[in-house]
Structure 1
Amino acid sequence: MVKILPILLLSIACVFAAPTPKTSVKLPLKAPQSRVAYHHARSRDHCRWSHLSNNSTNSTLNIPAINADVSYLITVGLGTPAQNVDLIFDTGSSDLWVQSANYDHTQSSSSKDLKETFSIQYGSGSTSGKEFSDQVTIGGFTFTQEFGVASQATGFNGIQGLVGFGPDDLSAITSNGENIPTPTDNLYTSGQISSDVIGVFFKSITDGGTQETNGEITFGGVDATKFTGSITYVPVTTVSPASQYWGIDVSSITYGTSKVSSTTHGIVDTGTTLILLSDSSVKALYKNIRGAALDNNSGLYTIPSSQVSKLNNITFTIGGTDFTLTPAQYLVPDNQVANQGGVSGTAYSWIGSLGSNESGLAFILGQKFLENYYSVYDTTNNRVGLAPLA
């Protein structure tokens, strides 16, 4: 049967006997071989979210991340023996699919053809193919899961597939309307991790290169060495459509002492590259910066060099705690501009517009925010946590 899904495809997991729990397993989040220019990342972010504006042990499992600067990828093994694939690590969806060129079911002794098809349509892209059930390996842990093998995919050049770690309700569109457990859910219910929680550490590229293995995902808890102070936890918002995702409430957004937005609702999402605000908030922000303008070539806002030294911090107040980005944190580093198709000597900002004023989705805190703050996605307690990076 054909299944039309709003963001990413459906993933059905059935967990069998669990291996002996491990105290900690760390692996890298890695990068695509090819670079993604600014305008491609901006377009991808907009396609990704356009439909919303239009309409028990003590063990943990740590997975390292390689920074592709616009995506973080996690290595996952599919089949027996495992065929390793690098999938976008995505908290904005709850499903797993892989390009057919990167997984051959005939080479896996545990593969099962489910005789069903899937079809995903979103923004200006789509993907479709057949559904299989097979063993999935993350770190040293293995479970059986249904996933899609895409014979057709547009908008994913150079990408092998995606694996989602959002709320499992995002996988509810199936033939019988069931909610599908995420890989984290399955690791937890099988006793392989101690909590239905993931902690995410991202860090920006600092040397002007194209990729680094400098991120980490912890399954089953948090890595206290990656953040300072305490974690600020806030409940998932009740305001739709942000409530369908890892959505949170922000009591204010300020630029220096100027208020950009009062109480608003949005999403924390590892699968979005930029920091995106509603149209009205973006206008209020850049009105404070003389000469700031949208660059049509890159899709990013540019700031005159004469104004860079005068820039102020931008602060998101979440759960009574201020999460501040300095100009150095929300501007593209000079040594990375040329690598991503920008003009050397031009100041670019990671903060852009969502393209709408949807009140229930007024911001997305993507990768460029999360490279400055440790984030926690707690399914058991239906909450999101943030803390300053160590």
Structure 2
Amino acid sequence: MVNKILPILLLSVACAFAAPTPKDGTVKATLKRPANPVQLKDVHNRDVRRWANLATGSSSSIPAINADVSYLITVGLGTPAQDVDLIFDTGSSDLWVQTANYNPKSSSTSKNLDETWTIEYGSGDASGKEYTDIATIGSYTFTQEFGIASTAEGFTGVDGLVGFGPDDLSVITNKGENIPTPVDNLYSSGQIGSDVIGVYFQPITDGGSQETNGEITFGGVDSTKYTGDITYVPITTASPANEYWGIDVSSVKYGSTSVTSTIHGIVDTGTTLILLSSTAVSALYKNISGAKLDNNSGLYTIPASEVSKLEDITFTIGGTAFTLTPSQYLIPANQVANLGGTSGDTYSWIGSLGDNESGLAFILGQKFLENFYSVFDTTNSRVGLAVAA
């Protein structure tokens, strides 16, 4: 099996807190994003490298932290629990933690499986030994198989990663079997009623770099976190997007101007940007006078004289229009300097994925999902989207 976990952004870690366990058969967790965001030039490079190998063919809620370019979720491992803040990623399906952040000898329930593992990603790799132990999310516990990374190039300052993609993406084993994700284990143990997660993100708007402003609901959705109805679409049949949380987008429009016809791609919490194929990006930015690629960051800049003239960008998914206003697809001016951009310049969160057309023409990452509630439904093999509350 091809190793499919690709590079994840380097972030320093802040602590998450467990939210109260609801009484509706779901579990909730908060998401958070830590301080010290990386530079814009690294954000684009990281996102493109993350999917480079793929493109070429090679209900319970807990808090989540928005690190501006990535989100973290706190999971307890072991008995007693050792809390780790893990990158929350729907584009992979493994849980692994650095040796510095979890000690199996300090847990009375850890079990060494006498297996080794290696995960390859765009800028290096991670490897180590495989264990099982008790995992805790909120007040719920379950047995989880995971890796302890003795080496993890490119993950300095990060406790580890937890994937919530389809479990056949898992590679934390040298025996080739699929490893259930935490939501799979919560479902199979009867603690949640559906193998579903609902995800709520919020953008940072005040220039800050650390906020606890997101939520994951395991086993269902949180109706207070979205407005209107959820539009559900089946996993696309187009390869390679169908191996992930892949969907079809029937059109992308800038104002009333069509940028693409039907394209296939991926919805992914582990990607920061909104990425389109180079053909679609060119078709998009030719509508904006003076828009140009900034070679330093890999992102597009918009002349100040054109900002007030910008139009909405609309993605039609499952017959529903999901619209981004200019204020939603532009990097807030008070964040540009913090992210290493040129103060006074206007940057767009929408960048190029490269020359990918068949089966992987877009990635709807965090900067799209911060505006919409998303549902990843393993039980029914579908993705849901609604306008975020």
Q: Please, what TM-score do these two structures have when normalized by structure 1?
A: 0.92
Cα distance per residue 1:113-139 (max 9 Å; x no partner):
122111111212211111111111111
Measure, in 1, the Cα distance between the counterparts of 2:105 and 2:331: 45
Name 1:71's counterpart in structure 2.
70
Q: Which runs of 4+ in 1 moved over 6 A?
A: none
Q: 2:54 aligns with which of 52, 55, 68?
A: 52
Name 2:4's counterpart in structure 1.
6
* Structural mapping, 1:357-372, within 5 Å: 357-372=356-371
Most deviating of 247-256 and 138-147: 138-147
Indicate if the aligned counterparts of 2:94 and 2:172 stay in contact, CA closer than 8 A.
no
* Structural mapping, 1:103-142, within 5 Å: 103-142=102-141
Counterparts in 2 of 1:156 and 1:240: CA distance versus 1, 3 Å: same
Measure, in 2, the Cα distance between the counterparts of 1:8 and 1:85: 20
In structure 2, the residue corresponding to 1:75 is in which secondary structure? strand
Cα distance per residue 1:15-59 (max 9 Å; x no partner):
xxxxx994355432122343222122212111210001222xxxx
Report the identity percentage. 72
In structure 2, the residue corresponding to 1:162 is in which secondary structure? strand
Is 1:29 matched up with 2:27?
no
Shift of 1:174: 4.7
Instruction: Identify unmatched segments of 5+ residues in structure 2.
Output: 8-20
Name 1:191's counterpart in structure 2.
190
Counterparts in 2 of 1:364 and 1:282: CA distance versus 1, 3 Å: same
Shift of 1:172: 6.6
Measure, in 1, the Cα distance between the counterparts of 2:178 and 2:120: 20
Measure, in 2, the Cα distance between the counterparts of 1:104 and 1:67: 27
In structure 2, the residue corresponding to 1:339 is in which secondary structure? coil
* Structural mapping, 1:175-324, within 5 Å: 175-324=174-323
Measure, in 2, the Cα distance between the counterparts of 1:323 and 1:40: 28
In structure 1, the residue corresponding to 2:141 is in which secondary structure? strand
In structure 1, the residue corresponding to 2:227 is in which secondary structure? coil
In structure 2, the residue corresponding to 1:345 is in which secondary structure? coil
In structure 2, the residue corresponding to 1:297 is in which secondary structure? coil
Q: Please, what TM-score do these two structures have when normalized by structure 2?
A: 0.92
Measure, in 2, the Cα distance between the counterparts of 1:175 and 1:245: 21
Cα distance per residue 1:275-332 (max 9 Å; x no partner):
0000100011111111111112222111111110111111100000000101000000
Name 1:352's counterpart in structure 2.
351
Name 1:15's counterpart in structure 2.
none
* Matched residue count: 374
RMSD: 1.8
Measure, in 2, the Cα distance between the counterparts of 1:243 and 1:140: 33
Counterparts in 2 of 1:8 and 1:337: CA distance versus 1, 3 Å: closer
Measure, in 1, the Cα distance between the counterparts of 2:351 and 2:304: 18
Measure, in 2, the Cα distance between the counterparts of 1:35 and 1:219: 28
Measure, in 1, the Cα distance between the counterparts of 2:174 and 2:118: 13
Shift of 1:4: 6.7
In structure 2, the residue corresponding to 1:47 is in which secondary structure? helix
Indicate if the aligned counterparts of 1:8 and 1:94 stay in contact, CA closer than 8 A.
no
Name 1:14's counterpart in structure 2.
none
Measure, in 2, the Cα distance between the counterparts of 1:8 and 1:304: 34
Cα distance per residue 1:224-266 (max 9 Å; x no partner):
0110000000000011000000000011111111111100100
Measure, in 1, the Cα distance between the counterparts of 2:355 and 2:121: 17
Indicate if the aligned counterparts of 2:6 and 2:50 stay in contact, CA closer than 8 A.
no
